[in-house]
């Protein structure tokens, strides 16, 4: 089982809104997270490169202030391509983003 959005109709940034109802209907958290990560990668045949945190795989990582399936949580820090690209300054109540160089 996998979940996704129909981007650009429902932008991929709203993927959590697709996953949250599954958690609210008592699907355990790890299963819900798998539906938007490794299960999706397997269906697309990309699980050797993405979908889980393993040495040698491409991944982005966000650290949330609480349950990542709760849309009210604050993303504290985000890493992409091995670099920190976002940090939320709790004392300033705002986030700071760093632009990534496009990879084609």
Domain boundaries, the chain: 1-52, 59-104
Q: What is the pLDDT of residue 88?
A: 87
pLDDT value at residue 8: 83
Q: What is the pLDDT of residue 75?
A: 87
At residue 104, the pLDDT reads 46
pLDDT along the chain (104 residues), means of 10: 84 85 89 93 95 90 87 87 85 72 55
pLDDT at 60: 87
Q: What is the pLDDT of residue 45?
A: 96
Enter the pTM of the model: 0.72
Q: Which two tokens stand for residue 41?
A: 């990668």
């Amino acid at each position: 089982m996998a979940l996704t959005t129909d981007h650009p109709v429902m932008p991929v940034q709203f993927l959590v809104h697709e996953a949250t109802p599954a958690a609210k209907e008592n699907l355990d958290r790890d299963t819900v997270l798998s539906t938007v990560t490794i299960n999706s990668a397997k269906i697309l045949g990309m699980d050797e490169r993405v979908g889980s945190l393993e040495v040698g795989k491409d991944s982005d990582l966000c650290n949330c202030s609480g349950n990542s399936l709760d849309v009210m949580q604050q993303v504290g820090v985000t890493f992409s391509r091995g670099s920190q690209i976002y940090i939320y300054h709790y004392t300033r109540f705002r986030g700071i983003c760093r632009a990534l160089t496009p990879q084609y």
